[in-house]
Structure 1
Amino acid sequence: MFDFKDKIIVVTGGETGIGRATVESFARAGGTVVIAGFLEDEGDDVVSSLAKENLKAEFMKTDVQNEEMIEDVTGKVIAKYGRIDVLVNNASIFDGFAGINETTTALWDKVINTNLRGTFLMSRTVLKYMMPRGEGAIVNVASVGGVIGGADGLAYTSSKFGVIGLTRQMACDLTAKGIKVNAVCPGMIQTDMRKHSTRILADDAPPMRGVGVNPDALKRVPAGKKGVPNDIANAILFAASPYSNYMNGHSLMIDGGWTIQ
């Protein structure tokens, strides 16, 4: 269905969970994919796994909190491939449902700097190369927790509300310049985000509540089950493809019907 042959795609946080499924889907659709990720072993595993299918992907160590590293990695992509056709801002860390009284300043800063500031920095840097060409697609991974309260913790919710606002304003600024910007909003998806967030946050990690399937939480979801990473990857590919060319500034809810109620 999707054809990304000869397209250069950058996926932040593309080494695990939704990001990995997205990288694999783009590669299987013919794209050349750069994983701008933080976890090297996981990133190398994605690359080697895809190489066995003769598919194109590579890993570049990136911390989206670090502006200099973003500039460096983006420059390397441009030097090697000449352009970036699609940017997927997927890199995120979770706050373990920490509320206002449990959220330390360090936790707040790391979540906001990764999820929101990182999306801004990565977009602004890549746009320096997209805008002169007058074409490109940016897909931001937000969350159901970016449109409703009570789905996540304080910092994560704040960051994802910010990502949706960023998406809408970027679309207002860029649509007439040939660049479309949209977001996808995952609901309950089966990933290891809590484990990886704990590892990245290190000493600043809160207790990661909500591990496993919570039957009471699933009562919120008409589908009655969690989604899988490919459910989100398919939406991301749609948002990046020509099939969505008249869709701009939109936030696609991929949540089993959670937010229709």
Structure 2
Amino acid sequence: MIDLNGRVAVVTGGETGIGLAISRTLALAGAKTVIGGILDDKGQAAAEQIKKDGGDVVFIKTDVSAEEQVEALVQSAVDRFGKLDIMVNNAGVFDGFADCVETSPALWDRVIDINLRGVFLGTRAALKRMTPQRYGRIINTSSVGGMRGSADGCSYTASKFAIIGLTKQVACTHSQYGITVNAICPGVIQTDLRQTSAINLGDVAPDMSRGVGHDPDAYKAVVPAKRRGTTQEIADVTAFLASDAASYVTGTAIPIDGGWMAF
């Protein structure tokens, strides 16, 4: 098992789905963990359950598109635990497979604000704390939709491709300071992303019932494993990237997709 004792982590979007599995895995591996998320009730419930299971964790309500809130989230980890070692920029919303014509400027702006601006703000805040200590692990959640143009909708695809570019650029400029920067790219994973995205997008939310949600077996045509991945499988790879075992892994975008990118 990965040992993260003595480390301090921040996980955005850590109250549901993949983020919750990451928060739990890092905390139970020994990292003192701060969860930042927009869904207050789910965040408080997640923190309480992880505490019951033995993790040292706190939840702070955070809108990742707001610079001052992201800065406050990261600083709270430093104030509470003395430093920041691991930053997981996971918060994101789905666009319901809306194509370019269907994507309103309002939907585009909101998806980009959360998915891309949020990763930029989290990365920037983390670098300011990690660079002086010459140590850090930054993991950004992209998607297979950041590697294939046919996987998702217009704004989601654009945001996830951009996350990979941001990850690679920051790795080139900051790996010399002992900071690794990587992206994880989940494939078809069983989560509640559609439901939480509808809540977070509010009035600009598109129809979330298309694609795999409309035909639950459609993914089998392109995923060699013929099954959905689990949130724990994503969390396990994230924990590896957060550990010292991955100290020479940086600037990568890792598909966790049951072979979809090999198809």
Superposition TM-score tier, normalisation by shorter sequence: over 0.9
Q: Cα gap change, 1:213/1:20 in structure 2, threshold over 3 Å: closer, same or farther?
A: farther
Structure 2 SS opposite 1:42:
helix
* Counterpart for residue 186 of structure 2: 186
CA distance in 2 between counterparts of 1:226 and 1:172 reads: 33
Scaled by the length of structure 1, the TM-score of the pair is 0.98
Match of 1:232 among 228, 234, 237: 234
* Counterpart for residue 154 of structure 1: 154
Most deviating of 139-148 and 208-217: 208-217
Residue deviations 1:131-172, cap 9 Å, x none? 100001000010001011110000000000000000000100
CA distance in 2 between counterparts of 1:178 and 1:66 reads: 28
Q: Is the 8 A contact 2:28 2:54 kept in 1?
A: no
Structure 1 unmatched runs, 5+:
none
Amino acid at match of 2:18: I
Residue deviations 1:52-88, cap 9 Å, x none? 1232111011101101111222222222212110000
Amino acid at match of 1:47: A
Structure 2 unmatched runs, 5+:
none
Q: Pairwise mapping of residues 38-187 of structure 1 onto structure 2 (< 5 A)?
A: 38-187=38-187
Aligned alpha-carbon RMSD (Å): 1.0
Aligned-pair identity (%): 46
Deviation at 1:215, TM superposition (A): 1.8
Give runs of ≥4 in structure 1 deviating > 6 Å: none
Most deviating of 200-209 and 72-81: 72-81
Amino acid at match of 2:232: N
CA distance in 2 between counterparts of 1:37 and 1:219 reads: 34
Most deviating of 74-83 and 90-99: 74-83
Structure 2 SS opposite 1:195:
helix
Structure 2 SS opposite 1:11:
strand
Number of equivalent positions: 261
Scaled by the length of structure 2, the TM-score of the pair is 0.97
CA distance in 1 between counterparts of 2:55 and 2:71 reads: 26
Q: Pairwise mapping of residues 194-209 of structure 1 onto structure 2 (< 5 A)?
A: 194-208=194-208, 209=210
CA distance in 1 between counterparts of 2:50 and 2:108 reads: 35
